[in-house]
A and B are shown apart, each in its own frame.
Chain A
Amino acid sequence: MNRKKSVSQRIRLAVQIVFFVLVALVVAAHSLEESGITIPLLQGASLHAICPFGGVVSLYQYITAGTFVQKIHDSSFWLMIIVFVTAILLGPVFCGWACPFGSFQEWIGKIGRKIFKKKYNRMIPLKLDRVLRYLRYLVLVWVVIMTAVSAKLIFSDFDPYYALFNFWTGEVAITGFISLGLVILLSLFVERPFCKYACPYGALLGLSNLFRIFKLRRNSVTCINCKACDKACPMNITVSTVAAVTDHQCISCLICTSEAACPVPSTVEFNTHALEQNTQEVAK
């Protein structure tokens, strides 16, 4: 990855840091507010209130009873809509650029990458990995059904994201801490293990890869088949054989693109139309 190419990932890192710090500050401010301390210019909110997935699990209750699930408020609903807009445009860009827990796993993963080098993120047998990738849909179905039935945030007791940003509050269940510990440990071997195998919101947003307006496309004419894109993909997606990535696991991180891993300009990029058209127009 040359200097120019690393710029795109530095931009992404900056955005990830902004969202991580913002969420941490808002949640910390909320805790302080409950203790009677207010931070100037910063309005605190619970993590549930600023989690777009809260809107998703509240949908059933909102439609049937006109109310939100406990601890969920209008803000979760608006965030759900906002993130859906970004997903329609760019796929699960929220996962790759904004989700603080995705970023956290990625940063832990850098330690794993240093330890295991090329073996990192390639340790789970392919057949097992393929099956496990669908586990998150089972989690999604379970969470949505159980939340609808109980009208409670069932997942929060198991949610490592909630545990990470609330570990000091005494409100985290032991199962939450176990999940968090497990994710941290697995992140040393696998890139974004929670995103890949367990995140219910990632599962839902992943479906947008099938219909996003800007698709991640590969120009088969200019592609030199070096597989740099495949090797770079944190989600282990094979980019080098497809015209457009529709894999439900893509997080729109741009690591595989010509702005980063791909050595050939304008060969892997986000575009609304097939890249071969550009090549043909240039040839003419």
Chain B
Amino acid sequence: MKMTSRMIALTVVVVILGGILLAMALGVWRTESTKQAAKFSSGAFAGVSNPADIRGSYSFTDVERNFNVSADILAKAFAVDTTVKAAGAYLAKDLETIYTNVADGAGEVGTDSIRWFVALYLGMPYTPEESTYLPNPALQALRDAGKVTDEVFQQLKLRSVSPSTVVPAAAQAEHVESSTDRTIKGITTFADLLTWGMTQAEVEKAIGGAMPSRTIKLRDYFVEKGLEYSTYRTKLQEIINTL
């Protein structure tokens, strides 16, 4: 039997495109993850969802559904700005953009950080990549929830970074710098205060109201409120110095 160019063209188009259409019709053509994490196949956690299978396309809601770690905990741990979008709407891979170069080239905060955090939170085995870091609030969340011992907490601090929130890259660089000497400056944000160990309740008590978005600089906040920035700076600095 001979095959001409017309027959080959027809075969290629019909078999490839027809095959795709058939797969679509049968409901087996999926171009996105089902967001159903694979389960441990053996060991103590056999049959339980494996954090190692969290993909970059997973939203915090997907993580919550698979692992029962709430989107709010994740949002707090990774210091994402929930005034920009809802906690559950953040994708794991968003962290890579939010934390670009935050670890000063030493590592990165991204999807693997979510896997690591979830595994630590649930007490499951997981070995993160060498370049993976966790933001400080994630460590705090783990300790507050009693998920890690002090010893583990100290080890984790070696691979932690200050949270970088949804701000321009230039501002992020300032942000990281400002969080190293724990001195309140004009560029210090509310996220820095949390990083340095203050709780949200302590901040709100000190400023006498609800804490705004974490990305907002202290100076901008007090100026906008018509309050004297230097007074509050001193007050907050005193609290920071005691931590």
* Contacts between the two chains (Cβ within 8 Å), count: 101
B106 partner residues in chain A, CB cutoff 8 A? none
A79 partner residues in chain B, CB cutoff 8 A? 16, 19-20
14 further A-B pairs in the complex, CB-CB below 8 A; given A74-B31, A83-B16: A15-B13, A49-B31, A66-B38, A75-B29, A81-B19, A85-B19, A90-B11, A93-B11, A93-B12, A97-B8, A97-B12, A254-B8, A271-B3, A272-B1
B56 partner residues in chain A, CB cutoff 8 A? 70
How far apart are the CA atoms of A46 and B32 in the complex, in Å?
8
B20 partner residues in chain A, CB cutoff 8 A? 75, 78-79, 82
Contact status B6-A11, CB under 8 Å: yes
A271 partner residues in chain B, CB cutoff 8 A? 1-3
Interface residues of B in 7-39 (CB under 8 A from A): 8-9, 11-13, 15-16, 19-20, 23, 28-33, 38
Contact status A78-B1, CB under 8 Å: no
Which residue on chain A has the smallest CB distance to residue B36? A67
How far apart are the CA atoms of A86 and B12 in the complex, in Å?
7
- A14 CB within 8 Å of chain B: yes
- B55 CB within 8 Å of chain A: yes
Chain A residues touching B, majority SS: helix
A98 to nearest B CB, angstroms? 6
Contact status A73-B6, CB under 8 Å: no
A97 partner residues in chain B, CB cutoff 8 A? 8-9, 12
Partner among B5, B33, B41 whose Cβ is within 8 Å of the Cβ of A73: B33
B12 partner residues in chain A, CB cutoff 8 A? 15, 86, 93-94, 97-98
How far apart are the CA atoms of A70 and B38 in the complex, in Å?
12
A9 partner residues in chain B, CB cutoff 8 A? 5
Interface readout for A13-56 with B: 1 if CB under 8 Å, 0 if not? Answer: 01100110000000000000000000000010110011000000
How far apart are the CA atoms of A199 and B31 in the complex, in Å?
23
A219 to nearest B CB, angstroms? 12
Closest 7 CB pairs of A and B: A8-B5, A45-B31, A270-B3, A82-B19, A49-B31, A74-B30, A67-B38
Contact status A90-B29, CB under 8 Å: no
